[in-house]
Chains A and B, each alone.
Chain A
Amino acid sequence: AQSVTQLGSHVSVSEGALVLLRCNYSSSVPPYLFWYVQYPNQGLQLLLKYTSAATLVKGINGFEAEFKKSETSFHLTKPSAHMSDAAEYFCAVSEGAVTGNQFYFGTGTSLTVIP
């Protein structure tokens, strides 16, 4: 079975500061891992994904995440926060490219950027 834990339901950073959003996963098979962003009243937009290739994954808007199997983690980082980064962020895990696989989501982290 797969599950995701996101530590910190709310994170506040100053504009220009490092963004670090934490995600730990549990999976009985090699996982695919994802970060999605949700802006207010919007759908889910894929930021980046890990699909068993490079462990350091770069995504859109300057975000990146590193897959660490030994720590079962997939933390999301951005060197310098921008006001437009304020949103809800979701980590998700799936069973890989399995037909009809489920995507299991964490409970989300709300990022606030302070000017």
Chain B
Amino acid sequence: DTAVSQTPKYLVTQMGNDKSIKCEQNLGHDTMYWYKQDSKKFLKIMFSYNNKELIINETVPNRFSPKSPDKAHLNLHINSLELGDSAVYFCASSQRGEAFFGQGTRLTVV
């Protein structure tokens, strides 16, 4: 069983489109995150939710909107995609100080 699963794994889309990435964790963790990994492999936090409530919202364009329907899911919706949004997006969950990551979604905007 995959602890943190993201779909899709690859996403290729045109500029201006709207897309969503889904994330689910079956670990029973209270906290979930979205991280962005750029082309230089740098990992930067975007959002953090605890029990469905937003607790960290880094400086991210408001075209990015996370949604947590329950504490096992944290989806990321992106409006009006731009070339600069191309990256790998990682979902993670944590409890008691340890984070578990999904396999990532490689988003390519063309």
Contacts and interface: CB of A to CB of B under 8 A. Distances in A.
B48 A100 contact: yes
20 contacts: A43-B90, A43-B104, A44-B101, A46-B99, A46-B100, A51-B97, A90-B43, A92-B99, A96-B97, A97-B96, A98-B97, A100-B31, A100-B48, A100-B55, A101-B31, A101-B94, A102-B48, A103-B92, A105-B43, A108-B43
Interface of B: 30-31, 33, 40-45, 48, 50, 55-56, 90, 92, 94, 96-104, 106
Contacts of A107: 40-42
Interface string A49-79: 1010000000000000000000000000000
A95 B45 CA distance: 15
Nearest to B56: A102
